[in-house]
Amino acid sequence: MRLVARGRGGSRAELARLSGMAPSSVSLRVEELIEAGLLREDGEGASRGGRRPRRLRLHEEAGVVVAADVGTHHVRMSVMDLAGRVVYSHELPGEVADGPEVVTERLRQYAYMTLDQAEVKHLPLLGLGVGMPGPVDPATTRIVAPSRMPGWNEYPVGERLAELMDVRVMVENDANLMAVGEHRNGWPGCENLMAVKVGTGIGCGIIASGRLHRGRGAAGDISHVPVIADTPATCSCGHSDCLEAHASGAALCRTLRTRGFEVEYSRQLVDLVNDGVPEVTTLVRGAGRLAGQVLTPLVNFFNPDVLVLGGGLSAAEPFVAAVRAAIYERCLPLATRGLEIATAVTGRDACMLGAGSLILDEVLASDWVDETLASR
């Protein structure tokens, strides 16, 4: 099931190769799963010189999951089928600063609303995946020590939502989800990937050996690395000259407001850059240079196949160019040889798609599969 879900096992023969099981055993299992309504055949694939494979896919009527990306000022939400295909998706308003009680209740309402609009009320809801703009302890699904989320510390988002909606819930940091989303949807076969999200805040998700690297739960924090900047700035963490205090969307907006611009959101920054306002472009390019300065040692150290740039600021071409330049200038040839530096293939959907992928993994590894098999 997992292999088919990840799009890696498209036929019985391929499943046999990937799983290491005998073709005969795979056929038997697949037969069972088809009878239980979990898998279905989906026409024939291209021949590789012999008989054409009979493509397999997860049955889209078997159930759905809801994936949500909670941003600082909005919520992006979608319904996905078991294969991770987006059935319906939209963006809704909502400030994360409204606090945990309000936001969890809002998520519940949004979820049912989204299911309604997706016209899948007759299918079982198997799980909910949520991305949050702050550190999440994967063990407890609690938010820990968030910098831009007052009132959220130690709040058990996952448990609350599971109670409210009576479904399996997965909660994860948004940068981590972006990494997962890009890895699954944009870079098949890539083993090691870094995804840097520069929006209101700055975060980084890490895929090591094809799996999300969480470390002790806080991995990927790059926002409080000291940078060499022209002007001093104090960060919310108490230290001075953190990357986040200089190069985040929030920091840039703050700077521009002192100069008389009316900017509130990162998106407005990008608009100003696209309008060709020189002062803003210079500022954004500077932010990119600082981000590159921080990323250089990390790229040398981690030596990824792909570096994905996402989040609001990645839509500004000067920002991306400055990051690229900084990395190619100072990284070792051995580290940049074959390194891809790209903006998010799935754009603003990356986090949401990642949330869907992870909750689908959980659902497909859960008892639900066995129970469904047994009940038919």
Report the SS3 class of residue 361. helix
**What phi and psi values does residue 350 have, to the nearest 5 degrees?**
-50, -50
Q: Indicate whether 332 belongs to the interface with a second copy (CB under 8 A).
A: yes
Minimum CB separation of residue 2 from DNA in Å reads 15
Q: Which is nearer to a second copy, 86 or 208 (CB)?
A: 208
Q: Indicate whether 291 belongs to the interface with a second copy (CB under 8 A).
A: no
Token pair, residue 75, equals 């919520």
Q: Which is nearer to DNA, 22 or 237 (CB)?
A: 22
Helix (H) or strand (E) holding 347: none
Token pair, residue 309, equals 């740039």
Minimum CB separation of residue 139 from DNA in Å reads 24
Quick one: which of 73, 75, 67 has its CA closest to 91?
75
**Site pattern 23..62 for a second copy (x: CB under 8 A):** ----------------------------------------
Report the SS3 class of residue 87. strand
Report the SS3 class of residue 139. coil
Q: Indicate whether 365 belongs to the interface with a second copy (CB under 8 A).
A: no
Instruction: Specify the stretch interacting with a second copy by CB under 8 A; choose among 19-27, 34-42, 72-80, 300-308.
Output: 300-308
CA–CA separation, 333 and 320 (whole Å)? 20
Q: Indicate whether 335 belongs to the interface with a second copy (CB under 8 A).
A: yes
Number of neighbours of residue 17 by Cβ within 10 angstroms: 13
Q: Indicate whether 192 belongs to the interface with DNA (CB under 7 A).
A: no
Q: Indicate whether 145 belongs to the interface with a second copy (CB under 8 A).
A: yes
Q: What does the DSSP 8-state code read for residue 362?
A: H
**Site pattern 8..37 for DNA (x: CB under 7 A):** ---xxxx-----xxxxxx-xxxxx------
Render the burial of 155-194: b for 16+ CB within 10 Å, e for the rest. bbbbebbbebbebbbbbbbbbbbbbbbbbbbbbeebebbb
Among DNA, a second copy, none, what binds residue 349 when CB lies within 5 to 8 Å by partner kind?
Answer: none
- Interface contacts to a second copy, rule CB under 8 A: 135, 144-145, 192, 204, 206, 208-209, 211, 213-222, 224-226, 237, 239, 294, 296-298, 300-305, 330, 332-335, 337-339
> What is the binding site for DNA (CB under 7 A)?
11-14, 20-25, 27-31, 47-54
